[in-house]
Amino acid sequence: MNAPVKIETQPWRMSAAEASALILARKMSVEELTRSCLARIAERDADVKAWAWLDPDRAVRKARELDKVLIHAGPKSRLHGIPFGVKDMIDTAEMPTTNNSPIYAENQPSHDANVVRIMKAHGAFVLGKTDTVEFAAGGRKALTRNPHDFARTPGGSSSGSGAAVGDYQVPIAFGTQTGGSHIRPASFNGCYGIKPTHNTISWSGARHLSPTLDTLGWYGRSVDDLIMVAEAVRVWGIAELAPVSVAGLKVGFARTSNWVKAEPATVDAMERARSLLAAAGAIVTDLELPAPFSGLNDAQRVVMNGEGRVQFLPDYLQNYELLHEDFRKKVENAEGFTPAQLLAAWDLAAACRPVFDGLFGPDLDVILTPSSCGEAPFNPSETTGDAVMNSMWTLLHVPTVNIPGHTGPNGLPVGVTLAGPRLGDARLLAISKAVAPVIDPLAA
Amino acid sequence: MNAPVKIETQPWRMSAAEASALILARKMSVEELTRSCLARIAERDADVKAWAWLDPDRAVRKARELDKVLIHAGPKSRLHGIPFGVKDMIDTAEMPTTNNSPIYAENQPSHDANVVRIMKAHGAFVLGKTDTVEFAAGGRKALTRNPHDFARTPGGSSSGSGAAVGDYQVPIAFGTQTGGSHIRPASFNGCYGIKPTHNTISWSGARHLSPTLDTLGWYGRSVDDLIMVAEAVRVWGIAELAPVSVAGLKVGFARTSNWVKAEPATVDAMERARSLLAAAGAIVTDLELPAPFSGLNDAQRVVMNGEGRVQFLPDYLQNYELLHEDFRKKVENAEGFTPAQLLAAWDLAAACRPVFDGLFGPDLDVILTPSSCGEAPFNPSETTGDAVMNSMWTLLHVPTVNIPGHTGPNGLPVGVTLAGPRLGDARLLAISKAVAPVIDPLAA
C-alpha cells in the first residue's frame, strides 16, 4: 500500500479544474504546476513506471512559454497550461511514439494525432508519453505498476495513462479502448475516465486495432476534468450542459450476463453505490438487458480479431521478425474467424445499439454497471486484468464513465461505470458530476 | 475527344496483370515499363493534370532498384515493379501529401499509409501522388481534367487517380470513397475500380472525413489488376477465388430510387449491360430494394456531416484562415444536424445492411446498378458530378466494382456497377472477371 496522503496545497494533488482556476486567476503559474507534477513523478515513477517518454527540462520550458502567453495574450481556454499524458500509441510530433513495439522503438511521427492538436490549440501541453500494452492490443505489457500496490497491474492497455492520473503525476491523460483498455485502468488506479460515444472523437493519429471498436478516451481527477476536455473536443451537447440532481435520478442497476465474473470487491462496489445513491434520493432498480446482449462479449472478440487481421499486415510484411507472435497470429487468422462470424458480430451489435438507447427515457436516466471484475490482480508482467466488464459497452458504442470511490478488501480502488445512450455523452457527464460526490469521498 | 489509340505493344497501354507477366518472365524490365508510363505522362499530363507530385528521375531510379532486386532475389510478388498512383490525401513518406489544401502545401508525412506499405512490401512502387478534391471532401477541386474530353470533369474526389488510370498513365492507383468519390471517377474515366467492404482495408494514414463511410479502393485496367491488389491487401477469401460463369449467373437489375437521376447515357449503359449479359446466358431480373433503402442517400449525408464535424476541428482551431469555408461549416455544424438525426442515420444503415446481404443466395448472385448519372459533366473547376448513384452502397458497406465498356452519346465512358454482399468481395471480383469481357470490348 502506497496510497498518497492528501495535501490540499500541493499543485500535483489538484484536479485539472482546480489547477485551471488558480492559473486563470494568476494564483499559480503553469511552471509551478508543472514543477510540482515533475517532483511527484521524480518521487514516484521509479516504482510506478507510468512514463514511456518524459523530458522534465522540456516540460518546464513549455510551461514557461505558456506562462508568457497567459500574461501577454491571455488564456487560450480553461485548459491553458494544463499538462497531459498521451498513451504511447497516439502520435506526437515532438516526442517519439513507440507503440511499445521494438519495431517502433525509434519512431518519431511527423504529426500530432488530432486529439493532441486540439488540446494544444486550447493551451494544454503534452507532459510525456505513457506506457501502453504493445500496440494497445497484446504482446508486451507496459512496465507500469499499480500505484496503490506495485505488485499489481494498473490495468491495460492504457496502463501508464491510468496510473499517471491515479497516482497524481499528471491531472489528465489520454487512453484508448477496444475491449476494456480505458475504463478498467480507471477502476484499478482510482481515477475518473470517460470512453465517449464511438466515432465522435477523431481517432486520426492513433494506432488502430479494430476501427469498429477503437475509441479514444481520457482520464481526469474529477468529472469537471472530464468535462474540460469534452468541451475542447466538442462533445455533442456539451455547450448546453444542464445540471442534474441525484434526487429522483432513475438508475438501472445492470449486473449483465458478466456478473458471474464479479469478485466480492466489485459486488461490494456496486452495492455500496446502490445504497449511497438510494440514500441520496435516486431511484435504483434492477435492470436486465435483453437476452441477445449476452452475445456481445463474444461478438466483440470476433470484431476485434476480424478487423485486426489487416491492421498488422504492413508490419507482418515489413517487420516480421520484430512483430510479436500475438500479431502474427492475428494476420494469419490463427483462430480461424470466418466472414460469416464477422458479419454476425457486426450485425448483432448493430441490432442491440438502438435497443440499448431505447431503454433510456422517462424510466431510466443512467445505467450503473461494473468497471472491472474486482481489484487489480497481481503480476503486472503477466496480466492487465479482464476486459469482460467493458467490452460490451465498447461494441455498443455507448459512452461510459468510471466513478472511483470504493476501496476493495486489499485497499485498492474499485470503480463503477455509469453508461448512457449513444451521443448522450454530455448528459452522462452531467449525471456523473451529480453522482460523483455521492460515491467518491474525495469528490464530496 | 482525345481517346488514345490502342497500341498493344506500348507498355503504358498494358494492364498491371499484362505488365506483370512480362516483368516476371524477364521480357520487360521495370525500367522499360516506367519509362513508357513517364513518356505517356509527358505527352498527356499538361492537359489531364492527374498528378499533384511526380518526379520522373526518382521513378526511374526506383524502377532500376526493383530490376536489380528482381535479378538478384526474384520478384517479391506479382506486383513486383508495378508503378501505382496514390491519391494525395493518403500519406507517403517519400513524397508530400497536400490534401489539396493550402494548410498542407508543404506537408511531408513521416510514414506511409498502411496500404502504401503493403504495396511496397509486394515490390510495387509509388509513381507519384494524384490530385484530389480538397481533403477528399469539398472545398477546392482537383486541377485534373477528363482525359476523354478536357472540358469535362474526371469526377471526384479521386480525380487524379481515376484519370491517370483511365488515361493509361499508370496501371494502378488508389482512391477513396465517402460518398461516390471512387466509383464515379471510374465511370467517368473508363477504368476498373473496386470499393471493397468497409473496414476490410486499413485506412490508417489516409485523411478521414467520416469513418463510418471512408473506404479505400483502387483502380486498374482490368479485373485481374483489381485482383492483384486484392491479393496483396488480403481481401477475405481472395486466396480461394473460384471462377464464375456468366451462363446462369443471377443478376439483379437494380435501378434503385435514384433512377430519376439517371441520364440517357446511364439508362443506355444499364440496358446494354442487361442485353449483353442476357445474351451471354445470365438471368437478369429486375430487383427492387425494400422501401427503407430510399432513405439511405439522405442518411449518408447526415453521417458524413455528423462525423465530419470533428475531423476538421484541429485545422479549424490551428489553421482557421487557410481552412476552406466548406470545412469551417462542417465544424460549426452550419446545417444544424442533430444527434437524433445522426443516430437515425447510423441505425437505418445498420438495419439495411443484413437485409441487403440477405438478398443474395440461390436467386441472386450480383446486383447491376449505375455507376454515375451519365457521362462526365462539363466545368471541372465547378463540379465533379453527382454521388447519388454511389452513396447508398458506401453507407451499406458493400463491395462495388465499376465495369467500363459503354460509351455515351458524346463518346465518353459510362460504367456500370456490380455490387455484392458485405465480405463477398472475392466472389464479386470473380463475377466481375466473368462479366467484364461481356460488357467491355477491351476486355473481350
Express each pLDDT in B290-339 by its tens digit.
999 999 999 999 999 999 999 999 999 999 999 999 999 999 999 999 99
Measured between CB atoms, does A285 come within 8 Å of chain B? no
pLDDT of amino acid B353 = 98
Residue B54 parent element (H or E):
strand B51-54
Measured between CB atoms, does A117 come within 8 Å of chain B? yes
Contacts across the A-B interface (CB distance below 8 Å): 116
Distance from CA of A230 to the nearest CA of B (A): 12
Residue position matching grid coordinates 528521375: B57
What are the structural domain ranges in chain B?
11-289+351-443
What residues have CB less than 8 Å from A275, skipping those under 6 apart? none
* Partner B, chain A 332-371, Cβ-Cβ below 8 Å: 339, 342-343, 346-347, 350-351, 353-354, 357
Measured between CA atoms, the residue of chain B closest to residue A76 is: B317
pLDDT of amino acid B28 = 97
pLDDT digits over B207-256, tens only? Answer: 999 999 999 999 999 999 999 999 999 999 999 999 999 999 999 999 99
Closest to B317 (Cβ–Cβ): which among A110, A118, A207? A118
Q: What are phi and psi of B408, to 5 degrees?
A: -80, 180
Indicate which residue of A15, A181, A222, A432 is catalytic.
A181
Measured between CB atoms, does B118 come within 8 Å of chain A? yes
Instruction: Please report residues of A whose CB lies closer than 8 A to that of B307.
Output: 199-200
Read off the pTM: 0.97
Instruction: Please report residues of B whose CB lies closer than 8 A to that of A111.
Output: 109-110
Distance from CA of B98 to the nearest CA of A (A): 14
Residues of B taking part in catalysis:
87, 157, 181
DSSP for A170-204 reads -SEEEEEESSSTTHHHHHHHT-EEEE--TTSS--T
Closest to B357 (Cβ–Cβ): which among A121, A343, A422? A343
Measured between CB atoms, does B203 come within 8 Å of chain A? yes
Do residue B317 and residue A121 have CB atoms under 8 angstroms apart? Answer: yes
Q: Is the pLDDT of residue B99 over 90?
A: yes
Of A338, A326, A131, A311, which is closest to residue A213 (Cα–Cα)?
A311
Measured between CB atoms, does A423 come within 8 Å of chain B? yes
Instruction: Please report residues of B whose CB lies closer than 8 A to that of A233.
Output: 310, 313
Closest to A310 (Cβ–Cβ): which among B111, B233, B353? B233
DSSP state of B152: B
The total number of residues written for chain A in this structure: 444
Instruction: Please report residues of B whose CB lies closer than 8 A to that of A204.
Output: 207-208, 311
Q: Is the pLDDT of residue B1 over 70?
A: no
Instruction: Please report residues of A whose CB lies closer than 8 A to that of B347.
Output: 350, 353-354
The bridge status of strand A366-370 relative to strand A283-286 is unpaired
What residues have CB less than 8 Å from B390, skipping those under 6 apart? B177, B179, B180, B182, B183, B184, B371, B372, B400, B417
Cβ atoms B342, B407 nearer than 8 A: no
Do residue A310 and residue B117 have CB atoms under 8 angstroms apart? Answer: no
pLDDT of amino acid A8 = 56
DSSP for A254-273 reads ---TTGGG--HHHHHHHHHH
Bridge partners of residue B149, in order along the sequence: B146
pLDDT of amino acid B9 = 72
State the Cα–Cα distance between residues B11 and A441, nearest whole angstrom: 75
Distance from CA of B228 to the nearest CA of A (A): 16
Report the side by side order of strands in the sheet with B125-130.
Answer: B51-54, B125-130, B83-87, B172-177, B215-220, B192-195, B400-407, B413-419, B366-370, B250-253, B283-286
pLDDT digits over B153-203, tens only? Answer: 999 999 999 999 999 999 999 999 999 999 999 999 999 999 999 999 999
Do residue A339 and residue B237 have CB atoms under 8 angstroms apart? Answer: yes
State the Cα–Cα distance between residues B178 and B157, nearest whole angstrom: 9
For residue B335, CA distances in Å to B302, B303, B306, B326, B346 come to: 10, 13, 10, 11, 18
Instruction: Please report residues of A whose CB lies closer than 8 A to that of B90.
Output: none
State the Cα–Cα distance between residues B64 and B326, nearest whole angstrom: 43
Measured between CA atoms, the residue of chain B closest to residue A309 is: B200
pLDDT of amino acid A9 = 72
Q: Is the pLDDT of residue B7 over 80?
A: no
Closest to B310 (Cβ–Cβ): which among A234, A310, A422? A234
Distance from CA of A113 to the nearest CA of B (A): 9
Residue position matching grid coordinates 482512391: B175
State the Cα–Cα distance between residues A49 and A156, nearest whole angstrom: 13
- The mean predicted confidence, pLDDT, of chain B is 97
How many other C-beta atoms lie within 10 A of the C-beta of residue B417?
A: 27
How many other C-beta atoms lie within 10 A of the C-beta of residue B18?
A: 18
Do residue B310 and residue A342 have CB atoms under 8 angstroms apart? Answer: no
pLDDT tier at B8, thresholds 50, 70, 90: low
Q: In the numeric block, which cell numbers belong to residue A144?
A: 507500469
Residue position matching grid coordinates 449505375: B370
CATH numeric code, B11-289+351-443: 3.90.1300.10
Closest to B111 (Cβ–Cβ): which among A109, A202, A357? A109
**SS3 label, residue B16:** helix
Q: Which of B317, B321, B398 to mutate to test the interface with A (most CBs of A within 10 A)?
A: B317
Distance from CA of A18 to the nearest CA of B (A): 25
CA A56 to chain centre: 24
pLDDT digits over B410-433, tens only? Answer: 999 999 999 999 999 999 999 999
Closest to A211 (Cβ–Cβ): which among B110, B118, B203? B203
Cβ atoms B254, B293 nearer than 8 A: no
Q: In the numeric block, which cell numbers belong to residue A8?
A: 490540499
Instruction: Please report residues of B whose CB lies closer than 8 A to that of A353.
Output: 346-347, 350
Do residue B339 and residue A313 have CB atoms under 8 angstroms apart? Answer: no
Cβ atoms B20, B80 nearer than 8 A: yes
Distance from CA of B36 to the nearest CA of A (A): 29
Measured between CA atoms, the residue of chain A closest to residue B202 is: A311
Is CATH 3.90.1300.10 what the domain over A11-288+354-443 is classified as, yes or no?
yes
Distance from CA of A365 to the nearest CA of B (A): 17
pLDDT tier at B2, thresholds 50, 70, 90: very low
pLDDT tens over chain A, length 444 residues: 444 444 457 999 999 999 999 999 999 999 999 999 999 999 999 999 999 999 999 999 999 999 999 999 999 999 999 999 999 999 999 999 999 999 999 999 999 999 999 999 999 999 999 999 999 999 999 999 999 999 999 999 999 999 999 999 999 999 999 999 999 999 999 999 999 999 999 999 999 999 999 999 999 999 999 999 999 999 999 999 999 999 999 999 999 999 999 999 999 999 999 999 999 999 999 999 999 999 999 999 999 999 999 999 999 999 999 999 999 999 999 999 999 999 999 999 999 999 999 999 999 999 999 999 999 999 999 999 999 999 999 999 999 999 999 999 999 999 999 999 999 999 999 999 999 999 999 998
Report the side by side order of strands in the sheet with A250-253.
Answer: A51-54, A125-130, A83-87, A172-177, A215-220, A192-195, A400-407, A413-419, A366-370, A250-253, A283-286
Do residue B318 and residue A117 have CB atoms under 8 angstroms apart? Answer: yes
Bridge partners of residue B216, in order along the sequence: B176
State the Cα–Cα distance between residues B370 and B418, nearest whole angstrom: 9
pLDDT of amino acid B395 = 98
DSSP state of B375: S
